[in-house]
């Protein structure tokens, strides 16, 4: 059951006709019929198939590569090694307006820095032949010492994995955030808690493996079909590295099977595919296997968080100190952004005036960590919320009440440096407590049975848009056709979240036309306006606002054009349900097609609106309730029920928003209880690069979820007050589960994932301690 | 996937001769749910694939209270899962097949295929061993019977030689005193490989165990019988103290390895817990 409530606050009390309604998603039919085209569906005449040769050593220099046997295999058309490709240092995560990107990658280097890094690529007439050719490439390595942990790599004596001059294998200079006087704060504390939290390595495990198809035309122009969240970034980097102007690279993304942040990067395949296509003069497709999607993909940043907080007896937090250390893996990718955002997040959520934070990101010879839903905040708020639960108990407060007391409020300084709008977090916590009869449940008896139940609450806030880390910009073009239908041309990418449906709703609402009258053109860098990509929970917030502005521009033009026809002033007119009407109730109206279409020999009106929006920052909030059942003999934890309450401003499409929340909870349950991409710490080899041994929860493992969306703190910047929702749910669920496990069995864990074996061992230790 | 030669023999005799001639480089395909995945992921090489689905007589299914259950090599996991006779008489097997892969996989996979793959973690093997199942094996015109607990020689290895074709499986009928259970331990409720599987098949009257067979999955190179634990329980009144002793004994009989799925110590712990629980369920406890 989903509840969606509207509590309007300082927004115009207009009646919405399309926004806030769960209209049928515009891509439903093509997806259920299989007609929707993904990059992997692209098939071109004469197309070749490419495969990457990947290293079977984590850290080494390449002594030699012998490709002669591969080239001799019948059906092989080209082989590329580091000797055959442009050597241009580039960023794996190429956000041009961000200060925090790291140029540390080559297409192919003469050195490998993690197990499974691409060292060569083959194009052949079939995928099977390409695979056989890859096996025939002989690489001789000069091994270098493998640095697989933060401790090993950040040792001042450790050899540098990248020669960036920073020392200790820093990806970026350490980040410091200071507010108030921490030492003074600790001096006032009645209780100080200090803990270290250990973070596992979940991966996004998107459905659609990385795939691209490249084709060059006779004029030296490259067309690239690829599964990316940021088509313009791919275009920019390809152009830069291949040395061609932007108008000679066209990137097309029609549909995508998920990305969760990770598909903002380039994965070597885009360059290799393009170069193989240029070398052979034929279109080339390169599709990762599931194993390659693990090995060559991006994970969430593992690492450690040391957190120390001082509390007063009356329940205030007077000092907070933290050292966040993320393991970047072999390349920088989103390390700088994740470190900045994750560390700065610790200034907020629970109020504290005295804060001293330090964030580090360390190169290791392990899989590359990148952007992933929750972007550093999943990690730091897990630590923060777990400690709040512990402090509440030590101080004698109910954990939910304690979080409520300390929750950020209107006007508090957000991590971005902006004042927070509204009491979103307070509203969410209160609502969770009401909805679940929190106090009654807390008083419930707890029999010492084999299976024990517990409840927990976890909280979060997350920014819509990546500002101030990245200066973002959303763009849209809206055209009205002569029959009154509308075309939205948007740069906003669709990962499969229903973003284009939401954008169409906004345009329809703004223009006063039915939802079905709006169609969307997207995913082609030659056509759509520039866009930074779909990430940072900003698609609806930023792309939606740009679309709204473009639609408003068209509306103004329509009304100006219709005014003389209706013998009225434009200001007296409105568009409702496809009619231009005189607002004073005079019953006069014109169909849009009559207002803007060709008439009596006059051509149709040219109606094009352009919208550009550069946001600052807005925060969404959530509190999650989780009930778990722990089997004290097997250590298994079952999540029985989750009640997520989200404050996300104006809801554009309630079912799609609830879908985001449920999906985030599924991923978050995995993070907390079972998902961990593991490497062998002796050689850096992946131990579970498959869905057999990388355990994501599936539909049968899902608890009942009672989603509640409230709209108490709309953002004046978002379309109709809308804010982001994509990342929020994955942040709050983890602490809710960990806190519920404590409630069930009295053991506090300080890491994720919490495996059955660890639960069982902790219970044994606890039993031994009790006995002694 | 690497190319292979494909054959569709029409009779058992033809298939057996073909397999004998092709030797170890040939694989039988029935459901293909293991074989094709292994070929695609280069975990197994097979230059010859022999499809036995065109051979008549391998889809038989029969149950009667006197002779028990017998079904052919081409009977799918889903057919067993949805069979009232299996659900009514072999609840441990019914449970095991309901936990194998997904419904899509179960619609294609065969029980005999799951057996012949000889995975130590196969779901169907522990209950079938506990129930005393035997395989019918055809070779060169003769048919022989092999008890399932003598069939496996190691992970992926069996006593079969080229030319042998398992044609079906049979097991005795339960008696009014029979109790059976299977527990699969994994991280997920579906689409999961067992980290430990325990099957129990016993005869009991008023708390007294007259006979019992316990099969442990995923804790040794093959599915094994916990024979010492069976001996410990046979003829005894089952009470909490004896169950604890049996759990301890089964843990000693297991020789698990540790890997990314679970450590050896945890697997051994689970053998104890699951053995105790499975006996309880087999004696009428609610699973």
* Residues forming beta bridges with residue A475, ordered by sequence position: A612
DSSP annotation of A529: P
DSSP, residue by residue, A139-186: EEEEE-----SHHHHHSTTSPPSS--S-STTBSSPPEEEEES-HHHHH
List the single residue in A with minimal CA-CA distance to B186.
Answer: A636
Residue B1 has pLDDT above 90, yes or no: no
Distance (Å, rounded) from C-alpha A539 to C-alpha A545?
9
What's the domain range around A518? 473-613
Do A387 and A307 meet the contact criterion of CB atoms below 8 Å apart? yes
Distance (Å, rounded) from C-alpha A626 to C-alpha A406?
20
Residues A655, A721: one domain?
yes
Distance (Å, rounded) from C-alpha A128 to C-alpha A124?
9
Query: How far apart, in Å, do the first and last CA atoms of chain A sit?
Result: 48
Beta carbons of B187 and A128 less than 8 Å apart? no
Look at the block and give the residue holding tokens 């921490």.
Answer: A182
Residues A679, A558: one domain?
no
Residues A625, A756: one domain?
yes
At A677, give phi and psi (nearest 5°).
-90, 115
Written out in words, the top-level CATH class of the domain with range B5-51 is: alpha beta
Residue B88: its H or E element:
helix B84-89
* Distances in whole angstroms, Cα of residue A455 to Cα of each of A399, A515, B37: 11, 42, 42
Beta carbons of A695 and B187 less than 8 Å apart? yes
pLDDT band at B286 (very low <50, low <70, confident <90, very high): low
A375-392: average pLDDT: 98
Look at the block and give the residue holding tokens 């293909």.
Answer: B32
Say if A441 falls within a structural domain.
Answer: yes
Determine the residue among B187, B240, B251 to mutate to test chain A binding: the one whose Cβ has the most chain A Cβ atoms within 10 Å: B187
Look at the block and give the residue holding tokens 């049968």.
Answer: A700
DSSP, residue by residue, A228-262: -S-HHHHHHHHHHHHT--GGGEEEE--B-S--TTG
A628-644: average pLDDT: 98
Residue A699 has pLDDT above 80, yes or no: yes
Specify whether the backbone of B101 is left (phi greater than 0), alpha (psi in -120 to 50) or beta: left
Do B73 and B115 meet the contact criterion of CB atoms below 8 Å apart? no
pLDDT digits (tens, 9 = 90+) for A147-159: 999 999 999 999 9
Q: Which residues of B touch A635 (CB under 8 A)?
A: 266
Q: Give me the pLDDT at residue A13, please.
A: 53
Q: Give the side-chain half-sphere CA count within 13 A for A89.
A: 9
Asked if the bond preceding A276 is cis, omega within 30° of 0, the reply is no
Beta carbons of B190 and A687 less than 8 Å apart? no
A592-604: average pLDDT: 86
Distance (Å, rounded) from C-alpha A458 to C-alpha A630?
18
* Residues forming beta bridges with residue B27, ordered by sequence position: B49
Do A58 and A365 meet the contact criterion of CB atoms below 8 Å apart? yes
CATH number of B61-171: 3.30.465.10
Residue A54: its H or E element:
strand A48-54
Residues A665, A518: one domain?
no
Say if A15 falls within a structural domain.
Answer: no
pLDDT band at A99 (very low <50, low <70, confident <90, very high): low
Beta carbons of B269 and A692 less than 8 Å apart? no
Residues A632, A729: one domain?
yes
Q: Give me the pLDDT at residue A225, please.
A: 98
pLDDT digits (tens, 9 = 90+) for A48-86: 999 999 999 999 999 999 999 999 999 999 999 999 999
B100-104: average pLDDT: 96
Query: Domain boundary at A543, A578, A613, which?
Result: A613
A309-329: average pLDDT: 98
CATH code for the domain of A574: 3.30.365.10
Query: Is B102's Cβ below 8 Å from some Cβ in A?
Result: no
Q: Could you tell me how far CA B119 lies from the centroid of its own chain?
A: 9
Q: Give me the pLDDT at residue A749, please.
A: 98
Residues A427, A509: one domain?
no
Residue B128: its H or E element:
helix B125-130
Task: Choose the closest CB to B185 out of A291, A634, A700.
Answer: A634
For residue B34, which of B94, B87, B108, B89 has the smallest C-alpha distance? B108
Residue A549 has pLDDT above 80, yes or no: yes
3-class state of residue A414 by DSSP: coil
Task: Choose the closest CB to B193 out of A692, A700, A757.
Answer: A692
3-class state of residue B75 by DSSP: coil
pLDDT digits (tens, 9 = 90+) for A323-349: 999 999 999 999 999 999 999 999 999
Determine the residue among A136, A701, A765 to mutate to test chain B binding: the one whose Cβ has the most chain B Cβ atoms within 10 Å: A701
Say if A108 falls within a structural domain.
Answer: no
Residues A624, A771: one domain?
yes
DSSP, residue by residue, A184-236: HHHHH-SEEEEEEEEE-------SS--EEEEEE-TTS-EEEEE--S-HHHHHH
Say if A628 falls within a structural domain.
Answer: yes
Q: Which residues of A touch B269 (CB under 8 A)?
A: 760
DSSP annotation of A483: T
Helix intervals (H) in A512-614: 544-566, 592-596
Residue A563 has pLDDT above 60, yes or no: yes
DSSP 3-state helix, strand, coil percentages of chain B (rounded to 5)? 35, 25, 40
Number of separate domains in chain A: 2
- The fraction of chain B above a pLDDT of 90, given in percent, is 95
Distance (Å, rounded) from C-alpha A148 to C-alpha A714?
45
Q: Could you tell me how far CA A344 lies from the centroid of its own chain?
A: 17
* Residues forming beta bridges with residue A326, ordered by sequence position: A303, A361
Instruction: State the smallest CA–CA distance between residue A768 and chain B in angstroms.
Output: 17
Least confident interval from A474-488, A572-586, B152-166: A572-586
Structure tokens at A748: 């506090």
Say if A649 falls within a structural domain.
Answer: yes
Structure tokens at A57: 């050593």
User: What is the signed CA dihedral for B43, B45, B46, B51, rounded to 10 degrees?
Assistant: 10
Query: Domain boundary at A567, A585, A613, which?
Result: A613
Q: Which residues of A touch B183 (CB under 8 A)?
A: none
Beta carbons of A698 and B266 less than 8 Å apart? no
A763-770: average pLDDT: 93
Residue A745: its H or E element:
helix A728-745
Say if A559 falls within a structural domain.
Answer: yes
Residue A495 has pLDDT above 90, yes or no: no
* Residues forming beta bridges with residue A455, ordered by sequence position: A627
Distance (Å, rounded) from C-alpha B55 to C-alpha A697?
40
Residues A433, A483: one domain?
no
List the single residue in A with minimal CA-CA distance to B184.
Answer: A634
Task: Choose the closest CB to B189 out of A692, A701, A760.
Answer: A701
Say if A29 falls within a structural domain.
Answer: no
Q: Specify the domain boundaries for CATH 3.30.390.50 within chain B.
A: 178-282
A406-417: average pLDDT: 94
Say if A186 falls within a structural domain.
Answer: no
Q: Which residues of B touch A695 (CB under 8 A)?
A: 187-188
- The fraction of chain A above a pLDDT of 90, given in percent, is 88
A536-560 burial: b if 16+ Cβ within 10 Å, else e:
bbbbbbbbbbbbbbbbbbbbebbbe
A468-472: average pLDDT: 82
Distance (Å, rounded) from C-alpha B144 to C-alpha B159?
12
Beta carbons of A687 and B260 less than 8 Å apart? yes
Residues A634, A756: one domain?
yes
Beta carbons of B190 and A757 less than 8 Å apart? no
Is the domain defined by B178-282 classed in CATH 3.30.390.50? yes
Residues A443, A541: one domain?
no
Query: Is B240's Cβ below 8 Å from some Cβ in A?
Result: no
Instruction: State the smallest CA–CA distance between residue A755 and chain B in angstroms.
Output: 9
DSSP, residue by residue, A313-363: TTS-EEEEEEEEEEEEETS-TTHHHHHHHHHHHTTSSB--S-EEEEEEEEE
pLDDT band at A94 (very low <50, low <70, confident <90, very high): confident
Residues A683, A655: one domain?
yes
Residues A647, A751: one domain?
yes
Residue B91 has pLDDT above 90, yes or no: yes
List the single residue in A with minimal CA-CA distance to B276.
Answer: A633
Q: Which residues of B touch A126 (CB under 8 A)?
A: none
* Distances in whole angstroms, Cα of residue A733 to Cα of each of A19, A436, A668: 28, 16, 6
Beta carbons of B193 and A701 less than 8 Å apart? no
Instruction: State the smallest CA–CA distance between residue B285 and chain A in angstroms.
Output: 15
Q: Which residues of B touch A760 (CB under 8 A)?
A: 266, 269
Query: Is B125's Cβ below 8 Å from some Cβ in A?
Result: no
Burial of A176 (0-12, 13-18, 19+ CB in 10 A): exposed
Which value, in Å, is the radius of gyration of the alpha carbons in chain A? 27
Q: Specify the domain boundaries for CATH 3.30.465.10 within chain B.
A: 61-171
Query: Domain boundary at A613, A638, A666, which?
Result: A613
Residue A184 has pLDDT above 50, yes or no: yes
Task: Choose the closest CB to A757 out of B3, B41, B266.
Answer: B266
């Amino acid at each position: 059951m989903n509840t969606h409530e509207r509590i309007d606050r300082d927004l115009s009390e207009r009646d919405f006709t399309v926004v806030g309604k769960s209209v049928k998603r515009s891509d439903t039919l093509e997806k259920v019929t299989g007609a929707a085209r993904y990059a992997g569906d692209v098939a071109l005449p004469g197309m070749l198939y490419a495969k990457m040769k990947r290293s079977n050593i984590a850290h080494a220099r390449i002594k030699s590569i012998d490709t002669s046997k591969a080239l001799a295999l019948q059906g092989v058309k080209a082989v590329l090694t580091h000797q055959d490709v442009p050597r241009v240092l580039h960023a794996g995560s190429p956000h041009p307006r961000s200060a925090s990107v790291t140029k540390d990658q080559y297409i192919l280097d003469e050195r490998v820095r993690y197990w499974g890094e691409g060292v060569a690529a083959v194009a052949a007439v079939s995928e099977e032949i390409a695979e056989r050719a890859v096996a025939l490439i002989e690489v001789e390595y000069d091994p270098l010492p493998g640095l697989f942990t933060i401790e090993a790599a950040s040792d001042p004596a450790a050899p540098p994995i990248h020669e960036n001059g920073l020392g200790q294998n820093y990806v970026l200079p350490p980040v410091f955030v200071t507010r108030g006087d921490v030492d003074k704060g600790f001096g006032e504390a009645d209780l100080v808690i200090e803990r270290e939290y250990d973070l596992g390595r979940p991966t996004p495990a998107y459905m659609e493996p990385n795939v691209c198809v490249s084709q060059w035309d006779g004029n030296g122009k490259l067309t690239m079909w690829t599964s990316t969240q940021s088509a313009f970034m791919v275009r920019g980097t390809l152009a830069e590295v291949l040395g061609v102007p932007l108008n000679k690279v066209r990137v097309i993304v029609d549909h995508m099977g998920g990305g969760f942040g990770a598909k903002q990067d380039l994965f070597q395949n885009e360059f290799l595919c393009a170069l193989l296509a240029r070398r052979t003069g034929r279109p080339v497709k390169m599709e990762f296997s599931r194993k390659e999607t693990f090995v060559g993909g991006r994970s969430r940043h593992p690492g450690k968080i040391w957190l120390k907080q001082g509390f007063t007896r009356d329940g205030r937090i007077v000092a907070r100190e933290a050292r966040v250390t993320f393991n970047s893996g072999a390349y920088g990718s989103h390390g700088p952004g994740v470190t900045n955002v994750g560390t700065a997040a610790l200034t907020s959520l629970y109020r504290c005036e005295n804060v001293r934070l330090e964030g580090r990101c360390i190169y290791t010879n392990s899989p590359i960590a990148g952007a992933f839903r929750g972007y550093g905040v999943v990690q730091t708020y897990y630590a923060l919320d777990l400690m709040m639960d512990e402090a509440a108990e030590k101080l004698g407060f109910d954990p939910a009440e304690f979080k409520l007391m300390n929750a950020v409020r209107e006007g508090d300084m957000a991590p971005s440096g902006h004042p927070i709008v509204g009491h979103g977090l307070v509203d969410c916590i209160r609502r969770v407590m009401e909805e679940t009869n929190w106090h009654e449940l807390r008083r419930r008896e707890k029999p010492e049975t084999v299976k024990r139940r517990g409840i927990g609450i976890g909280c979060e806030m997350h920014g819509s848009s990546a500002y101030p880390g990245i200066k973002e910009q959303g763009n849209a073009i809206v055209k009205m056709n002569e029959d009154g239908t509308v075309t939205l041309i948007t740069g906003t990418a669709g990962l499969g979240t229903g973003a284009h449906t939401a954008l169409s709703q906004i345009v329809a609402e703004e223009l006063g036309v039915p939802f079905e009258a709006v169609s969307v053109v997207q995913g082609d860098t030659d056509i759509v306006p520039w866009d930074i990509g779909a990430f940072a929970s900003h698609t609806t917030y930023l792309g939606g606002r740009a679309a709204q502005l473009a639609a408003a521009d068209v509306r103004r033009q329509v009304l100006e054009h219709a005014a003389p026809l209706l013998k009225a002033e434009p200001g007296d007119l409105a568009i409702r349900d496809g009619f231009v009407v005189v607002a004073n109730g005079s019953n006069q109206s014109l169909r849009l097609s009559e207002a803007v279409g060709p008439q009596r020999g006059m051509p149709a009106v040219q109606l094009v609106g352009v919208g550009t929006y550069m946001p600052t920052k807005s925060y969404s909030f959530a509190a999650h309730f989780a009930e778990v059942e722990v089997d004290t003999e097997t250590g298994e934890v079952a999540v029985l029920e989750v009640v997520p309450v989200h404050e996300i401003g104006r809801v554009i499409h309630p079912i799609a928003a609830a879908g985001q929340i449920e999906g985030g909870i599924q991923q978050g349950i995995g993070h907390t209880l079972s998902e961990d991409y593991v490497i062998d710490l002796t050689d850096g080899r992946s131990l579970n690069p498959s869905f057999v041994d990388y355990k994501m929860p599936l539909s049968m493992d899902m608890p009942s979820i009672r989603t509640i969306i409230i709209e108490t703190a709309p953002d004046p910047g978002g379309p109709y007050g809308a804010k982001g929702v994509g990342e929020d749910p994955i942040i709050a669920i983890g602490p809710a589960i960990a806190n519920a496990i404590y409630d069930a069995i009295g053991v506090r864990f300080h890491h994720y994932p919490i495996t059955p074996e660890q639960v069982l061992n902790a219970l044994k230790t606890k039993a031994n301690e009790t006995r002694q | 996937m690497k190319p292979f030669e494909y054959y569709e023999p029409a009779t058992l005799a033809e298939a057996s001769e073909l397999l004998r001639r092709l030797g170890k480089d040939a694989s039988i395909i029935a459901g293909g749910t293991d074989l094709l995945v292994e070929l695609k992921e280069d975990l197994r090489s097979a230059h010859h694939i022999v499809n036995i689905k065109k051979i008549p007589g391998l889809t038989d299914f029969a149950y009667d209270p006197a002779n028990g259950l017998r079904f052919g090599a081409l009977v799918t996991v889903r057919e067993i899962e949805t069979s009232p006779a299996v659900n009514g008489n072999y609840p441990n097997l019914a449970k095991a097949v309901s936990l194998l892969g997904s419904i899509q996989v179960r619609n294609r996979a065969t029980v005999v295929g799951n057996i012949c793959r000889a995975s130590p973690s196969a779901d169907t093997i522990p209950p079938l061993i506990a129930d005393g199942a035997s395989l019918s094996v055809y070779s060169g015109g003769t048919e022989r019977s092999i008890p399932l607990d003598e069939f496996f020689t190691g992970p992926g290895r069996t006593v079969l030689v080229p030319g042998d074709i398992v044609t079906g499986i049979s097991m005795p009928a339960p008696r009014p005193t029979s109790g059976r259970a299977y527990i699969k331990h994994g991280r997920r409720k579906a689409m999961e490989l067992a980290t430990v599987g325990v099957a129990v098949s016993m005869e009991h009257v008023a708390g007294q165990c007259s006979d019992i067979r316990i099969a442990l999955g995923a804790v040794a190179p093959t599915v094994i019988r916990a024979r010492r634990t069976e001996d410990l329980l046979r003829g005894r009144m089952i009470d909490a103290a004896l169950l604890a002793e049996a759990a301890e004994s089964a843990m000693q009989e297991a020789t698990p390895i540790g890997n990314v799925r679970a450590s050896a110590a945890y697997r051994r712990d689970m053998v104890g817990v699951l053995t105790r629980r499975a006996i309880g369920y087999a004696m009428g406890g609610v699973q």
